[in-house]
Amino acid sequence: MRLGRIPYINCYPVYGAIDRGIVPVPAELVSATAADLNDLLAAGELDLSVVSAVEYARNAAAYHLLPDLAISCDGPVHSVKLFARRAPEDLGGATVLRTASSRTSVLLLELLCRHRWRVAPRYATVRAEPSDLDALARLPHEAVLVIGDAALLLAAREEYPVQVDLGEAWGEWTGLPFVFAVWAARRSADEFRVREVHARLIESRSWGLANLARLADQAWATTGIPREICRAYLDDLDYGFSYRHLAGLTDFFRRLAQDGLVPDGSLSFITAA
pLDDT in tens, 75-123: 999 999 999 999 999 999 999 999 887 789 999 999 999 999 999 999 9
Q: What is the pLDDT of residue 271?
A: 64
State whether the Cα torsion 162-167-172-173 is positive or negative: positive
pLDDT in tens, 191-240: 999 999 999 999 999 999 999 999 999 999 999 999 999 999 999 999 99
Q: In whole angstroms, how far apart are CA 182 and each of 65, 185, 198, 214?
A: 7, 10, 12, 24
Q: In whole angstroms, how far apart are CA 238 and each of 50, 144, 190, 247?
A: 14, 25, 28, 15
Q: What is the DSSP letter of 269?
A: B
What string of DSSP letters covers 87-132? -GGG-TT-EEEEESS-HHHHHHHHHIIIIIS---PEEEEE--SGGG
Q: What is the pLDDT of residue 135?
A: 86
Higher pLDDT, 165 or 102: 165
pLDDT bracket for residue 128 (50, 70, 90): confident
For the segment(s) 2-71+179-243, the CATH number from 3.40.190.10, 3.20.20.100, 3.40.50.300, 3.40.50.10860 is: 3.40.190.10
Q: What is the pLDDT of residue 117?
A: 98
Q: What is the mean pLDDT of residues 46-53?
A: 95
Q: How many Cβ atoms are within 10 Å of 93's Cβ, its own excluded?
A: 10
pLDDT in tens, 18-44: 999 999 999 999 999 888 999 999 999
The percentage of the chain sitting over the pLDDT mark of 90, rounded to a whole number, equals 80
Q: How many Cβ atoms are within 10 Å of 192's Cβ, its own excluded?
A: 8
The 3-state DSSP class for residue 225 equals: coil
Answer whether residue 51 shows pLDDT above 80: yes
Kind plus residue range of the DSSP H or E element containing 206: helix 191-210
* CATH T-level assignment (fold) for domain 80-174: D-Maltodextrin-Binding Protein; domain 2 (3.40.190)
CB 109 within 8 A of CB 117: no
Q: What is the pLDDT of residue 263?
A: 83
Q: How far apart are CA 164 and CA 251, in angstroms?
A: 21
Is the full-model pTM beyond 0.85? Answer: yes
The 3-state DSSP class for residue 228 equals: helix
Domain with CATH 3.40.190.10 in the chain: 2-71+179-243, 80-174
Q: What is the mean pLDDT of residues 171-181?
A: 96
Q: What is the pLDDT of residue 175?
A: 97
